């Protein structure tokens, strides 16, 4: 099952019988972007993991590609940005989403 969650929206997960309970004990909630709030939620157990990327890496890649296009150079149509699945086990290796 895929579920997209967006800031400001309220969502609920329900079991197949609709009672609001799940018979599965291994349901894991994973977020995206690896923000400071997401990393804190992994640390305290509210999230099982977050997929971390770096806004700085995204911006640097966008600028590099824009400069290349302006210079009439060939740039990749798809930019691969490094991602890391961050769990409690590798929390210290998470890239800063917006470094100061």
Per-residue model confidence as pLDDT tens digits over 36-54? 888 888 999 888 898 888 8
**Percent of the residues in the chain that have a pLDDT greater than 90, as a whole number:** 28
What residues are paired with 52 via a beta bridge? Answer: 33, 84
Task: Give the confidence band of 99 by pLDDT, cuts at 50, 70, 90.
Answer: low
pLDDT at 54: 81
Enter the pTM of the model. Answer: 0.61
């Amino acid at each position: 099952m895929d579920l997209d969650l967006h800031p400001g929206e309220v969502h609920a997960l329900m079991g197949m019988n609709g009672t609001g309970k799940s018979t599965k004990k291994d349901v894991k909630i994973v977020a995206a972007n690896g923000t400071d709030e997401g990393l804190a939620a992994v640390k305290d157990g509210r999230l099982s993991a977050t997929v971390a990327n770096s806004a700085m890496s995204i911006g640097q890649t966008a600028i590099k590609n824009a400069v290349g296009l302006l210079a009439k150079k060939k740039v990749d149509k798809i930019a691969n940005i490094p991602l890391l699945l961050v769990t409690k086990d590798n929390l210290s290796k998470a890239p800063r989403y917006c470094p100061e």
